[in-house]
Amino acid sequence: MKIVNKSIFIDGIDKKILRALMEDARTPVLEIARQVGISGAAIHQRLRKLEKSGLISGSKFVINPRVLGYTTMAFVGIFLDKAVSNPQAVKQLKTIPEVLECHYTTGNWSILIKVLCKDNEHLMQVLNKDIQAIDGVSRTETFISLEQQIDRQIKI
C-alpha cells in the first residue's frame, strides 16, 4: 500500500484482505492468511497500515431492526428557516434516537435525515413531536421506504 497526496493505492493482497473482511468482518485472520497465501502476522501488519491510513475506520455488528420491531424506514427532507439554524438543528437531531443519518445537502432541503421507526404512527410522533419542534425547522417532507433494494459498500 502506498499513500501519495492523500490518495491510497492498495495492491492485490490488500484488496483480497478487504474483500474478505467486508463480506464478514468476523473472518479469522488465519483463514484470510490461508486464502491469500501470506502469514497471519503479515495480515495483521497490513490491517494496521490500512487503519492508520484511514481507509478502514473500524468494524461493527449490524443489528436487524425488524427483530426489534422497527419496520418503518423514512427519509425526511428538512427545510430550515435560515442556513445559520443548521448547527443547532443538527445538535437537536442528534438527541433523537430514531435519526440514523443526517446529511447537509444541496437542493430543496437544508438537511436530509434517515429515520427508523416501529411503524407509521411512531414515525408521525417523531415527526410532529421531535423533528418539527426543533427551532429553525420551517417544514419537512417525508418519504417512506417500502423496501431497501440495494445495500452495499464501495467496491474494492
Domains of the chain: 2-53 (1.10.10.10), 65-145 (3.30.70.920)
Instruction: Specify the pTM.
Output: 0.84
* Residue among 151, 57, 38 nearest 16 (CA): 38
Task: Enter the C-alpha cell of residue 121.
Answer: 404512527
Predicted local confidence at residue 78, as pLDDT: 98
Strand-pair partners of 139:
79
| Percent of the chain at pLDDT exceeding 70 | 96
Tell me 120's DSSP state: H
Helix (H, G, I), strand (E, B) or coil at 15: helix
Q: How far apart are CA 104 and CA 118, in angstroms?
A: 25
pLDDT score at 6 = 63
Q: How is residue 98 annotated by DSSP?
A: T
pLDDT for the residue numbered 1 = 57
Query: pLDDT tens-digit profile of 47-106?
Result: 999 999 999 988 888 899 999 999 999 999 999 998 888 999 999 999 999 999 999 999
Grouping H, G, I as helix, E, B as strand and the rest as coil, residue 79 is strand
Distance CA 82, CA 79 (A): 9
Q: What is the mean pLDDT of residues 25-43?
A: 95
With 70 as the cut, is the pLDDT of residue 30 above it?
A: yes
Count other C-beta atoms under 10 Å from residue 6's C-beta.
7
Residue 131: pLDDT over 90: yes
Average pLDDT, the chain: 93
* DSSP codes of every residue in 121-148: HHHHHIIIIIITTSTTEEEEEEEEES--
